[in-house]
Amino acid sequence: MDAVTTTARHPIGVFDSGVGGLSVLAEIRRALPDEDLLYVADSAYAPYGDQALAMIEGRSVAISSFLLTQGAKAIVVACNTATGVAARVLRSRFKVPVIAMEPAVKPAVARTRSGVVGVLATRRTLMSETFAQLRERLDTSVMILPQACPGLVERVEAGDLDGKHTRALLLSYLEPLLYRGADTLVLGCTHYPHLSATIRDLVGPEIQLLDSGAAVARQVRRRLAEQGLVAPPGRPGRTRFWTSGQPDRIAPVMARLWGAEVALELLSPAVCGADVAADWPPERSANWIGSAASDSVC
């Protein structure tokens, strides 16, 4: 399905490596209450930030293909890591609008008072060409302090937003940034806004916390409006959820983050494999794409 055959009543497809992208989905729902939304949490393969580039690209293509079979009129890559690795590939492969993430570093640079901005993100995001290009476009008088945060995605995936281990992990990443004078922190992974309350408790009210979820939602609205694809008013939008992991384990976490019960569906084995992308090179075979984390059911 491409942008020519879609209609305004078709849904918007959104995906992330796991439950983190719900922070973006919530902003899209607030900005576009009449839209039907589709969300895929690729939890069997989370976190993407520790995965090989080819795996992230393969998963992004497979899930986007699945969302298109469900009628998606646009794809939202609600994952900074997948954006840096796969957004260009998705845009070249699919005809529907592909809206991706960008860490909120630009507004952070504009708002900092101390001239020091901390960026919390995955290693893969901070190593990406996309992030390097973003930094090159910014005011060089502002110091940008990148901070990789291994382990935080896993804490959110487990639903541990404020436990002892999560707080200790956050402190180990926050203290070096605060010590060097950061007064503005960019939450550069879609999982991290779910930790905002705990981060705020640790750093105090004077530190600014920024993420890009609302900006992505505005971009989705703009792109749909350009093509006449904004859903007409008349009924509240509906939301469907899928996962590649264990639904009975993930559904309670998603319900807590989403703020409502979630009817979570299991992705089919075809989506968990490479069936939807049979033209990939041999090394991206079904066996290769299936080498998932231990909780994979695919």
79 in catalytic set: yes
Report whether 190 belongs to an annotated binding site.
Answer: yes
Report whether 17 belongs to an annotated binding site.
Answer: yes
Report whether 80 belongs to an annotated binding site.
Answer: yes
Is 189 within 8 Å of 153 (Cβ atoms)?
yes
Q: State the Cα–Cα distance between residues 64 and 162, nearest whole angstrom.
A: 32
The DSSP annotation for 197-244 comes to HHHHHHH-TTSEEE-SHHHHHHHHHHHHHHTT-SPPSSSPPPEEEEES
Catalytic residue among 149, 189, 272, 298: 189
According to DSSP, residue 19 is labeled S
272 in catalytic set: no
Q: State the Cα–Cα distance between residues 35 and 255, nearest whole angstrom.
A: 20
The tokens of 70 are what? 């469900």
Q: State the Cα–Cα distance between residues 255 and 241, nearest whole angstrom.
A: 11
Catalytic residue among 79, 149, 272, 298: 79
- In Å, how far from its chain's centre is CA 112? 25
Is 81 within 8 Å of 153 (Cβ atoms)?
no
Report whether 81 belongs to an annotated binding site.
Answer: yes
Task: Determine phi and psi for 44, rounding to 5 degrees.
Answer: -65, -20
Is 271 within 8 Å of 295 (Cβ atoms)?
no
- In Å, how far from its chain's centre is CA 253? 16
The SS3 assignment for 6 reads coil
Alpha helices in 94-138 (DSSP H): 105-111, 123-127, 129-136
Report whether 191 belongs to an annotated binding site.
Answer: yes
Q: Check the CA dihedral 268-272-277-279 and report its sign.
A: negative
Q: State the Cα–Cα distance between residues 34 and 19, nearest whole angstrom.
A: 22
Report whether 244 belongs to an annotated binding site.
Answer: no
Is 199 within 8 Å of 135 (Cβ atoms)?
no
Tell me the catalytic residues. 79, 189
Binding residues for substrate: 16-17, 48-49, 80-81, 190-191
